[in-house]
Structures are given as C-alpha cells and as structure tokens.
Amino acid sequence: MGSIRNLVPARQSDVSVRQRSRIAEWRESKLDKSILLIGEWREVQMIILGVDPGFAITGYGIVEYAGNKFRVLDVGVISTEAGLALSGRLLAISEGLDDLIGRYKPDAMAVEELFFNTNVKTAIKVGHGRGVALLAAAKAGINVYEYTPLQVKQAVVGYGRAKKEQVQQMVKLLLHLEKIPKPDDAADALAIAICHAHSSGSINRLNLKVNAGNP
C-alpha cells in the first residue's frame, strides 16, 4: 500500500494562549467529542478519512481539520493485483482500510456516492470496492458521509461543474501541498475529505445560530 506521510507540518492556531491550553487539555482527554466550545464560538475538531472507492485502486486521504485549518496526515492508494480473484482483491482493500483506521482512528469517513456509469461492468466493480469501504467503517463504528461529485466540486472549488484539474489545483492550495498527489485517486480522496470538512463546518455554524436563538 503506497502512502505519502506528513506532507504538511502542523500550523499554530490563531487563538489566544488560554484557548490553546483548553484545546490541548481536550486533545489529551479521551472523550469522544468533535466540537469544542470556546467562548461564543465553536471549533470543529476531527480527523477525516476520505475514500475514492475503486477495484484496482482505492484512493485514500486522511486530514485533520481544526479551527478551519487542514493538515494532511496521510494520502495514497490501496492497489490490488490484477491476477487475484475478486475475493482476494476485496480482501486487500479491506485490510488496507482496516490498517488506516486502526492507525489514525478517524472520526468520520467520507465517500463519493456511486453514480451511474455507462460501463455497467466497471460500475459493479467500483460498487464492490465501495461496499468494502462502508463495511470497514461500520466495523470500526465510524459514521459514513456520502457526497456526489457535484457536491465535492462545489465544496472544493465553489463551482459544481469544475474540471478535474481545477479540483486538484484547489486541493493542492487548500492543503498547502508542494504538488498534486498522484495518482488521481489519491487527490480525489483528499477532495472528498475537504468536502466533508466544509459540510461539517456549515452544519456546525447553522446549529450555533439556531441554538443562539433559544433561551
């Protein structure tokens, strides 16, 4: 399983010393929380495993999202040998995802929804790989969030009809990477993770506004 580790160094958050201390205390605890309450604002704190499901190649991207800032923890692909039987290839994907989940303990898995493909055979194979990813998350008790290609492009680029090259360039920019991850499956997985981070941030801000209106 190929991977590129620690592409982006950790960056210091733009909060006060007192707030950073509270964040550090929370991180050291083992409470199962993904939202920090600091003063009158909330900081989304989570590790996201983005998965671009496939059969021959499954892309993955693991990012830490905190205070509207990203840090790449790992990115790469899980490749399967063409000569293996279907069951063997699915097992390789399963073992690879299990290893990543055990190592990084993500709070959420983001997966691209399966869309109609004119090549039915290819769509079925991708569906197999996608099913393995969903099962891996379920076994680990991780919530799965699904996004359409249009939603991913909208979240990353701001335009639902953006071209693949535009999405990849924005992934590179948002994650402060020196170059676009290769193969494309890895970059796509990071884009899906970014989509979930932005979606979670929007939901969090909406909840905060609603709660603020309640006594």
Segment 70-92, tens digit of pLDDT: 999 999 999 999 989 999 999 99
pLDDT at 138: 98
- What confidence score (pLDDT) does residue 42 get? 52
Mean pLDDT of 175-184: 96
In a domain, 26, yes or no: no
Q: Looking at residue 45, which CATH number applies to its domain? A: 3.30.420.10
Mean of the pLDDT values across residues 16-44?
46
Q: Give the pLDDT score at 4.
A: 33
Q: How far apart are CA 191 and CA 150, in angstroms?
A: 12
Q: So what's the pLDDT on residue 193?
A: 97
Task: Say if pTM beats, i.e. exceeds, 0.85.
Answer: no
> Residue 28 falls within a domain, yes or no?
no
> Is residue 29 in some structural domain?
no
The whole-chain average pLDDT of the chain stands at 80
Residue 72 is assigned to a structural domain of this protein: yes
Angle at CA of residue 202, ends 196 and 47, nearest 5°: 35
DSSP H or E segment with residue 74: strand 69-79
Total structural domains within the chain: 1
- Separation of alpha carbons 36 and 42, rounded Å: 6
- Residue 207 has what pLDDT? 40
Residue-range definition of the domain harbouring residue 74: 2-21+34-212
Higher pLDDT, 74 or 205: 74
Least confident window among 14-28, 34-48, 113-127, 138-152: 14-28
- Where residue 89 falls (left for φ over 0; alpha for ψ -120 to 50; beta otherwise) is alpha
Q: In this structure, is residue 156 part of a structural domain?
A: yes
pLDDT at 102 over 80: yes
Q: Which tokens go with 188?
A: 């796509």
**45 vs 179, higher pLDDT:** 179
At residue 117, the pLDDT reads 62
d(CA 193, CA 52): 10
149 occurs within a structural domain: yes
Answer yes or no: is pLDDT of 213 > 70: no
Residue 173 within a domain: yes
Residue range 153-175: average pLDDT? 94
Q: Which pLDDT band holds residue 68 (cuts at 50, 70, 90)? A: confident
Q: Is residue 191 part of a domain?
A: yes
133 vs 30, residue with greater confidence: 133
List, for residues 104-154, the tens digit of each pLDDT value. 999 999 998 877 666 788 888 889 999 999 999 999 999 999 999 999 999
In this structure, are residues 193 and 211 in contact, taking their beta carbons and an 8 Å threshold? Answer: no
Share of the chain above pLDDT 90, in %: 60
Active site residues: 52, 112, 185
